[in-house]
C-alpha cells in the first residue's frame, strides 16, 4: 500500500486527534526512516525525543526478541527480574531512592502528583500543585490542568488545585506557595514551551524555597532525560536534586514505558494500595529499557550528545548569521530549538519534502531532537538542505 492508501484508511478509522502528514513510515534504522513509497528520510525528531539510540538499535532489538520468547507480562502481584534490574539501574544513575514503572509520560506525571499529594496530606498540608506557564506535562485531565490553556479549552471542568506561575521567576513561586501547597513541578528544559532551559540560580533558589516551606519539588524529565541533554538527566547540569522525577520517551528505546522516582522521604509516605498499574514495568518493556540504558552507557552517548550538540550549534550559528529568517539557537546537548522570525510549520513541510524530519513547537521554534548517535554527516545534509531552502525562499519572496 502507498502513503496515500494508508493515509486514507487512517482517516476513515482513527479518531482525528492528530494533524498527520500524508506519510506512512514502514522501516527505520539508526537515524533513517523509509516511507511506504520507498522514500528515505533523515530523522531529527526521533519520535519526539523517544528513539535516543536510533531506530531499531541491534542491542535493543535483541533484548526485545529474547524477552518476547521468554515472558512478556505478569501481574505486579509478583516480582519481575527485569523490573528489579531496571529499578536498580534507574536508582544508580539518578541518585534517587525508589522507582515506580508506568506506561507513559502522562501516567508518570499523574503518579508523581498523586504521591506528592499523599505525602502532603500525611504531613498536614493541602494538595495544591504549582506548575510553570507554557509547560507541558501530558494530555490527561490532571496533566492538562498543569499546562497551557489551549489544551484545556473544551474539556472543562478542569480538576482543581492547580496554578501556574512564570518560568524562571522565583518570586512568583514564593508568592504562590501557601500552607496548602503540596508540590512545584517543572521541566528543567521546557520542550513544548520552546526548548527553554531553566536558569541555574532559579533552580537552586527553588530547591532552597521548597526545603524551607516543606513543599516537594518535582522535575519532569520526560523529554529532556535519558542522555538527551548530554547528561543522564537535565538536572545534572545544575546540581539540583528533586524529591520526585518523571521519565518516559527515551527510556524504552521505542517501547512504551515510563517511570517516576522519588527520595526515601517521599517513599515513606506511601503504603500498600496507594497506587498501582497493570502493564507498567512489564518484563518486555523493562528489558527494552535496560538495553537502552546500557547502550547509552557503553557507547558514551551522553558525551556524544554534548559534542555533537555543540558542533550543531556552531554550524547553525553560521546559518543564523547568513539568513535573516533564523534568529537564534538554544538548548542543551541534542535538545535544541532554533528560533525563527516567522511560524515554523511551512519550513517543517519544506524540510519534509527534502527528506528531513523535524518539528515546530511554540509556533516559531524549529525543534531538533535527533538520536544521540546521529552522525555529523546526516546533520550536515540537514544543514545544507536548510541553507538551500532559505536561499530559495529569499529569492522567491
Q: Which residues contact 48 (CB under 8 A, 6 or more apart)?
A: 223, 249, 359, 369
DSSP 239-253: T---SEEEE-GGGGB
Residue 105 labelled as part of a binding site: yes
Residue 220 labelled as part of a binding site: yes
- Longest Cα–Cα distance in the chain: 66
Q: Indicate the pairing of strand 326-332 with strand 335-340.
A: antiparallel
Q: Which residues contact 304 (CB under 8 A, 6 or more apart)?
A: 372, 373
- The helix/strand/coil state of 214 is coil
Residue 252 labelled as part of a binding site: no
* Cα gap 271→289, rounded to integer Å: 26
Q: Indicate the pairing of strand 244-247 with strand 258-262.
A: antiparallel
What are the residues facing 245 on neighbouring strands?
A: 219, 261
CA dihedral 156, 110, 274, 212 (to 10 degrees): -100
Residue 223 labelled as part of a binding site: yes
Residue length of the chain? 397
Residue 277 labelled as part of a binding site: yes
* Cα gap 122→124, rounded to integer Å: 6
- Of 155, 123, 126, the closest CA to residue 139 belongs to 155
Q: Indicate the pairing of strand 365-368 with strand 98-102.
A: unpaired
CB 289, CB 227: distance < 8 Å? no
Residue 272 labelled as part of a binding site: no
Q: Indicate the pairing of strand 25-29 with strand 32-35.
A: antiparallel
Residue 139 labelled as part of a binding site: yes
Residue 221 labelled as part of a binding site: yes
Percent of residues in the chain assigned helix, strand, coil, to nearest 5: 40, 20, 40
Residue numbering of the annotated binding site: 105-106, 136, 139, 220-223, 277-278
Annotated binding site for pyridoxal 5'-phosphate: 105-106, 136, 220-223, 278
| Binding site per annotation, positions for N(2)-acetyl-L-ornithine | 139, 277
Amino acid at each position: 500500500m502507498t502513503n496515500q492508501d494508508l493515509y486514507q484508511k487512517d482517516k476513515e478509522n482513527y479518531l482525528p486527534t492528530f494533524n498527520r502528514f500524508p506519510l506512512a513510515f514502514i522501516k527505520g534504522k539508526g537515524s533513517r526512516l523509509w516511507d511506504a513509497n520507498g522514500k528515505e528520510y533523515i530523522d531529527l525528531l526521533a519520535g519526539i525525543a523517544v528513539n535516543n539510540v536510533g531506530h531499531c538499535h541491534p542491542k535493543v532489538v535483541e533484548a526485545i526478541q529474547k524477552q518476547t520468547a521468554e515472558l512478556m507480562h505478569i501481574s505486579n502481584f509478583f516480582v519481575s527480574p527485569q523490573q528489579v534490574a531496571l529499578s536498580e539501574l534507574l536508582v544508580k544513575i539518578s541518585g534517587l531512592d525508589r522507582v515506580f514503572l508506568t506506561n507513559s509520560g502522562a501516567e508518570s506525571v499523574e503518579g508523581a502528583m498523586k504521591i506528592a499529594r499523599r505525602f502532603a496530606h500525611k504531613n498536614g498540608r493541602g494538595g495544591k500543585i504549582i506548575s510553570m506557564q507554557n509547560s507541558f506535562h501530558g494530555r490527561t485531565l490532571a496533566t492538562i490542568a498543569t499546562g497551557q490553556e489551549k489544551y484545556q479549552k473544551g474539556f472543562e471542568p478542569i480538576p482543581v488545585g492547580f496554578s501556574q506561575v512564570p518560568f524562571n521567576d522565583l518570586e512568583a513561586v514564593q508568592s504562590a506557595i501557601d500552607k496548602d501547597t503540596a508540590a512545584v513541578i517543572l521541566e528543567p528544559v521546557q520542550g513544548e514551551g520552546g526548548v527553554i532551559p531553566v536558569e541555574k540560580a532559579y533552580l537552586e533558589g527553588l530547591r532552597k524555597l521548597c526545603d524551607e516551606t516543606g513543599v516537594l519539588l518535582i522535575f519532569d524529565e520526560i523529554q529532556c532525560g535519558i542522555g538527551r541533554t548530554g547528561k543522564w538527566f537535565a538536572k545534572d547540569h545544575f546540581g539540583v536534586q528533586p524529591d520526585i522525577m518523571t521519565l518516559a520517551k527515551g527510556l524504552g528505546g521505542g517501547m512504551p514505558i515510563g517511570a517516576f522516582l522519588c527520595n526515601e522521604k517521599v517513599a515513606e509516605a506511601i503504603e500498600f494500595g496507594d497506587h498501582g498499574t497493570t502493564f507498567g514495568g512489564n518484563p518486555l518493556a523493562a528489558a527494552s529499557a535496560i538495553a537502552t540504558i546500557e547502550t547509552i552507557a557503553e557507547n558514551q552517548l551522553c558525551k556524544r550528545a554534548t559534542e555533537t550538540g555543540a558542533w550543531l550549534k556552531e554550524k547553525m550559528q553560521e546559518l543564523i548569521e547568513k539568513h535573516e529568517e533564523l534568529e537564534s539557537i538554544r538548548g542543551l546537548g541534542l535538545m535544541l530549538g532554533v528560533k525563527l522570525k516567522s511560524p515554523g510549520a511551512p519550513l517543517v513541510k519544506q524540510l519534509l519534502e527534502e527528506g528531513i524530519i523535524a518539528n515546530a513547537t511554540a509556533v516559531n521554534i524549529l525543534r531538533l531532537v535527533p538520536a544521540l548517535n546521529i552522525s555529523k554527516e546526516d546533520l550536515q545534509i540537514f544543514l545544507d538542505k536548510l541553507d538551500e531552502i532559505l536561499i530559495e525562499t529569499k529569492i522567491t519572496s
